[in-house]
């Protein structure tokens, strides 16, 4: 009977020891997992900070690019009036007499007189041709016949009939002013553009 109690006590002790050991084992696993979770959480926060820094750098780069583009556009636009006049001299056919040239940003509106409808059509073809790297999207506004006596005397050589017209086109930011001037030089002496005062 005494041996029975001893065995029972040993069994209970062994069971308690096993429970303690298993508990410590799982506690160690949980502790390690918590440490891993803490490390992962810390790394995620660090990555989030790095992502924020990268996004901030991207925004700074985009802002610098926008400023650079604005400066380049300003430098390009500074030469556009000269380029515009060179291109008009080169592309305006005989029989076209310009009254006004109005530029708003990159859009240009022209009004003038023509000796015939065909002259206006030729003018539009010239403005739409691929020979100009500065002009695009030309379109006719309106054209109407008028009495030459109400217009410029320089256009009265073709009877009493003239055609009053308006058209528009857009200037392109391409090439350089020097190249455009060289390109326009062959036609610079052509007396095609006449503006009224």
* CATH architecture of the domain with range 79-187: 2-Layer Sandwich (3.30)
pLDDT tens digits, residue range 64-103?
A: 998 888 887 777 677 788 888 888 988 999 999 999 999 8
User: Which of residues 194 and 148 earns the better pLDDT score?
Assistant: 148
Model confidence at 140, pLDDT cuts 50, 70, 90, reads very high
pLDDT at 194 over 50: no
Q: What is the pLDDT of residue 48?
A: 94
**pLDDT of residue 178 exceeding 50:** no
Q: Where are the domains of the chain?
A: 79-187
Q: Distance between CA 184 and CA 89 in Å, rounded?
A: 8
Question: pLDDT tens-digit profile of 31-45?
Answer: 889 999 999 999 999
Report the mean per-residue pLDDT for the chain.
79
Tell whether pTM > 0.85: no
Taking CA atoms, 164 is separated from 89, 117, 119, 139, in Å, by 19, 10, 12, 15
């Amino acid at each position: 009977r005494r041996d029975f109690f001893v065995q029972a006590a040993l069994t209970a002790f062994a069971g308690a020891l096993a429970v303690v050991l298993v508990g410590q084992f799982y506690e160690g696993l949980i502790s390690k997992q918590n440490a891993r979770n803490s490390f992962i959480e810390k790394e995620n926060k660090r990555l989030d900070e790095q992502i924020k820094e990268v996004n901030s750098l991207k925004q700074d780069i985009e802002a610098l690019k926008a400023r650079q583009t604005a400066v380049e556009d300003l430098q390009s636009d500074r030469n556009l009036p000269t380029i515009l006049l060179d291109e008009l001299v080169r592309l305006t056919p005989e029989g076209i007499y310009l009254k006004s040239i109005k530029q708003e940003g990159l859009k240009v509106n022209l009004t003038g007189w023509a000796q015939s409808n065909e002259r206006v059509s030729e003018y539009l073809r010239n403005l739409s041709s691929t020979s100009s790297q500065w002009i695009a999207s030309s379109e006719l506004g309106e054209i109407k016949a008028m009495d030459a006596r109400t217009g410029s005397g320089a256009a009265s050589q073709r009877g009493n009939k003239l055609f009053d017209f308006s058209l528009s086109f857009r200037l392109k930011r391409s090439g350089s002013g020097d190249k455009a001037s060289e390109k326009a030089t062959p036609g610079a002496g052509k007396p095609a553009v006449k503006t009224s005062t």
